Structure 1
Amino acid sequence: MAINFEKALGIHQYTLGIRSKRSEMLASNIANADTPNYKARDISFSDALAAAKSGNQFSLEKTNTRHFTMQSDLQPGIKFRQPNQPDTGDGNTVDVQVERNQFMQNSMEYQASLSFLNSKIASLRKAIKGQ
């Protein structure tokens, strides 16, 4: 009997990738806190998860054999964060305290997803070994 990893691992296989991308984006926001005109970005988890589950990838379609094969830089779920405070004059929308809080929350959610996935894999190992 074949194991269907899609059913066995559930949603957790997608959440790890999204949480990882989100931590990179939040770290980039923190790193650019003093960069003029930098706009803070974040990932809409629900939008990115829906795109990951459906396999919807943004790619450009070739309509002629002479066209180049290219991938779009657009990623599902990425949005600009709305600033909580008025502009300080440099056009930067990063609020370091908000970004740190979001980063810590995302880290905890990443660890939770990783624990769930490890649990699922441990269950599969037991099933394969017949324990």
Structure 2
Amino acid sequence: MNLVNNSTNSLLQTAMSSAMTRQKTIANNIANADTPNYKAKKTVFTHELNQAMDRQRMDAHLTDKRHFPFGGNSRADGARVVERKDTQMNNNGNNVDIDMEMADLAKNQIYYNTLIDRLNGRFNSIRTVLGQGR
């Protein structure tokens, strides 16, 4: 049993990486709040994209093992940055909603801190088991 490189720690690492990507995206939107024709972006976790695409995708039935799979067979981890379409356009062609971005920034910071606390708890448990924690 590997105490450090396991599926839970890997999942926490992926979630932290995705949260960092979301933080950069939000910061970029805030920095470009007054830039004419700038289109706001958002970070979407891949599983959310996969769910949306599954509603529109047909699975392929492979009749031969040499055929290439397509349709609903592919999956990826992590997060992707996509253009935000759920905000109103300003007069200058910019669609950054600064209030929404600031709220998303605070929510993402709380999420990231929660992941850090969980990872620290896991490592503290390992230290305790190994006799290093007092």
The answer for unaligned runs of 5 or more in structure 2 is 49-74
Q: Which has the larger radius of gyration?
A: 2
2:17 equivalent to 1:17? yes
| Partner SS for 1:51 | coil
Q: Secondary structure of 2:76's partner? A: helix
Aligned: 1:117 with 2:88: no
Q: Which moved more, 1:98-107 or 1:13-22?
A: 13-22
Unmatched 5+ residue regions in structure 1?
A: 54-75
Residue 118 of structure 1 aligns with an amino acid whose one-letter code is N
Q: C-alpha displacement at 1:24, in angstroms?
A: 1.1
Tell me if 1:84 matches 2:87. Answer: yes
TM norm structure 2: 0.68
Tell me the alpha carbon deviations over residues 68-125 of structure 1, each in whole angstroms, 9 at most, x when there is no partner.
xxxxxxxx5211111432x223111101001001000000000111111111111122
Q: Which amino acid aligns with 1:77?
A: R
Identity %: 29
| 1:2 CA displacement | 4.4
In the TM superposition, 1:1-131 aligns within 5 A as: 2-3=2-3, 5-7=5-7, 9-47=9-47, 51-52=76-77, 76-85=79-88, 87-129=89-131
Aligned to 1:60: none
Secondary structure at the aligned position of 2:87 is classed as: coil
Kindly provide the CA deviation profile for residues 23-49 of structure 1, in whole angstroms up to 9, marking residues without a partner as x. Answer: 11101100100001111111112448x
Give the Cα separation in 2 of the matches to 1:125 and 1:10: 19
**CA spacing shift, 1:8–1:101, aligned 2, 3 Å:** closer
Question: Structure 1's 8 and 81: CA in aligned 2 closer, same or farther, altered over 3 A?
Answer: closer
The amino acid of 1:129's aligned partner reads: G
Backbone CA RMSD of aligned residues: 2.4
Give the structure-1-normalised TM-score.
0.70
Partner of residue 68, structure 1: none
Which SS does the other structure have where 2:130 is aligned?
helix
